[in-house]
């Protein structure tokens, strides 16, 4: 088999268990001389990398020198594609080869990237960089950097097309009911209520049925206790051939349309990029501080380019905004990629949301959206805000104009332009700061005090924008009238065609006492469960025991 190193799982310092296929130490051609043929207690040794094809054991001499009586040089070990350790599922160490499978197509963005197709097998050479790994295609033999969230370990559950991980029941239903899926389409997800268990969601006509997958203490899984399986793969295989008590036999895995956002534009994680690498394609919108354009980076990657009007904001403030955005990572927040700040106008480069702002979308193409779709958008916005809430950040300008829309009605929160990390529950706003009165909580408008609870107030206003397809809040009232009336207890009446239950949520957001307003986490689950019927969420397999 040649020289190889097997590394213990989940340790930063690894044990060398075997050299040249012999327990203990024997003569090694790689070492170039005899090594004492006797059992040796090997201590953990660090493993380094010189290049993509050699692993250097830098401290083997510390393990064998006491037995041999001499110092030994570092030894390169060539690792072939097939010399893969038995259990390397979570080694964060360079130079250990691991076979992964591509979950999506990826087109190289730079000369250092590796293009690949969904299903392709990739040998991971270096996985120490987090968002980007260095890999080799087993098909083309080419090497390059790949986004780590586009691949999963071969034969792992994450590599299965039907495994969707940690998504909620309502999200599973939304995905399965898309037109791309058919009767019998299915997915498996992590259980929301039981740790280590799973849930099977199956499309049955125009509805979705859910089944609990329980895990046995001795290992294995079952839906019906009389029919256990060693693995989830075996469970899926069984119910694909025979419904065996399910509503329908499993057919195709749920279609996965949306690709994940990469961590940065490339593995170099450039913060400041050359503005000549950007190409402006079409204007998406214009706001108080500048314009937003659809563009292209490096002639390979679609991006959004936000420009800052010269003199509108101190460049340092703009950079502070960008620094905050880059640290925040959530599937419902627009991802920051890079900035151009060395000259004006300053640019901020983010992921592209092709349908522009939610406000303009609601007033145009989105006018055909039905209430369930609007509520679903609201739940996703609440999800992103719940993340900001958990990170102790506030938005300060939450409104439909600052929500962006992508393909398939995907919404993400943008422009946390005035967001600040809050160490206390609230902070004093800058003197002279401008804010939109009709979206602003009374304690913020009158006393310049903002907190996550003032964002909750703004979210209630955003809900009115959704159900009225972009109508300006408090129609017919001036800013001064709104400020005066709201302070004296006035609240916007229920919008036309708005369900009473949704208006109740709005009123909760507009409670005069900020501390009595709901959290975004609460708002998220209320909106996610808005249309859930009473009764059991999960079905039992109808099997005669």
* Cα dist from 415 to 210, 275, 306, 342, whole Å: 37, 21, 10, 21
Whole-angstrom distance, CA of residue 297 vs CA of residue 292: 15
Measured distance CA(88)–CA(150) in Å, rounded: 18
Q: Is the distance from CB of 424 to CB of 450 less than 8 angstroms?
A: no
| Structural tokens at position 281 | 């394609």
Q: Is there a binding annotation on residue 306? A: yes
| φ/ψ (deg, to 5) at 401 | -70, -20
Nearest to 510 by CA among 431, 432, 446, 456: 456
What the block records as the tokens of 333 is 């927040």
Tokens 């020289």 belong to 3
Annotated active-site residue 113? The verdict is no
| Candidates 113, 127, 376, 397; catalytic one | 397
d(CA 379, CA 377): 5
Cβ neighbour number for residue 276 with a 10 Å cutoff: 7
Question: Which residues, at least 6 apart from 16, have a Cβ–Cβ distance to it below 8 Å?
Answer: 5, 42, 45, 57, 60, 63
Residue whose entry in the numeric block shows the structure tokens 């995907």: 410
Provide the terminal-to-terminal Cα distance of the chain, rounded to the nearest Å. 51
Per the CB < 8 A criterion, the answer to whether 53 and 78 are in contact is: yes
Query: What is the Cα–Cα distance from 267 to 129, expressed in whole angstroms?
Result: 8
Give the residue numbers annotated as catalytic, written as ranges. Answer: 397
Binding-site residues for ATP, please? Answer: 306
């Amino acid at each position: 088999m040649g020289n190889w190193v097997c590394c213990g799982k989940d340790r930063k310092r690894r044990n060398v268990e075997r050299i040249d296929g012999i327990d203990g130490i024997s003569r090694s051609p790689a070492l170039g001389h005899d090594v004492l043929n006797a059992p040796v207690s090997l201590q953990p040794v660090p493993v380094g990398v010189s290049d993509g094809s050699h692993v250097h054991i830098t401290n083997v001499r510390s393990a064998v020198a006491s037995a041999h009586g001499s110092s030994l040089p570092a030894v390169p070990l060539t690792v072939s594609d097939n010399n893969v350790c038995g259990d390397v599922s979570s080694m964060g160490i360079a130079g250990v080869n691991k076979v992964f499978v591509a979950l999506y197509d990826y087109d190289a963005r730079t000369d250092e990237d590796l293009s690949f197709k969904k299903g392709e097998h990739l040998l991971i050479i270096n996985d120490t960089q987090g968002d980007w790994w260095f890999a080799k295609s087993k098909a083309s033999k080419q090497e390059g950097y790949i986004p780590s969230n586009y691949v999963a370990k071969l034969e792992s559950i994450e590599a299965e097309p039907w495994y969707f991980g940690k998504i909620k029941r309502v999200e599973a239903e939304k995905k399965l009911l898309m037109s791309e899926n058919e009767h019998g389409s299915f997915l498996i997800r992590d259980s929301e209520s039981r740790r280590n268990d799973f849930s099977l969601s199956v499309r049955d006509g125009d509805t979705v049925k859910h089944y609990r997958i329980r895990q046995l203490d001795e290992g294995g899984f079952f839906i019906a206790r009389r029919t256990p399986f060693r693995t989830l793969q075996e469970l899926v295989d069984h119910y694909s051939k025979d419904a065996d008590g399910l509503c329908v036999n499993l057919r195709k895995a749920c279609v996965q349309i949306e690709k994940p956002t990469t961590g940065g534009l490339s593995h170099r994680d450039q913060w400041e990029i050359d503005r000549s690498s950007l190409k402006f394609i079409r204007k998406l919108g214009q706001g108080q501080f500048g314009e937003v354009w659809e563009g292209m980076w490096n002639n390979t990657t679609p991006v959004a380019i936000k420009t800052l009007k010269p003199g509108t904001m101190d460049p340092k403030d703009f950079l502070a905004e960008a620094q905050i955005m880059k640290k925040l990572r959530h599937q419902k927040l627009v991802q920051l990629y890079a900035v151009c700040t060395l000259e004006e106008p300053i640019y901020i480069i983010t992921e592209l949301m092709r349908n522009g702002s939610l406000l303009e979308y609601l007033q145009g193409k989105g006018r055909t959206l039905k209430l369930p779709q609007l509520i679903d958008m609201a739940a996703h916005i609440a999800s992103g805000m719940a993340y900001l809430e958990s990170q102790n950040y506030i938005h300060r300008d939450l409104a439909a104009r600052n929500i962006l829309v992508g393909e398939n009605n995907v919404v993400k929160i943008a422009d946390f332009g005035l967001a600040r990390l809050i160490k206390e529950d609230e902070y004093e706003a800058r003197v002279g700061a401008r804010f939109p009165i009709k979206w602003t909580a009374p304690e913020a408008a009158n006393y310049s005090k903002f907190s996550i609870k003032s964002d909750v107030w703004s979210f209630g206003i955003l809900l009115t924008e959704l159900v009225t397809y972009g109508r300006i809040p408090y129609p017919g009232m001036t800013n001064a009238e709104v400020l005066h009336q709201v302070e004296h207890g006035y609240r916007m009446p229920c919008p036309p065609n708005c369900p009473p239950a949704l208006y109740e949520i709005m009123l909760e957001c507009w409670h005069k006492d900020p501390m009595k307003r709901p959290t975004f986490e609460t708002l998220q689950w209320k909106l996610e469960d808005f249309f859930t019927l009473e009764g059991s969420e999960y079905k039992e397999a109808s099997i005669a025991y």
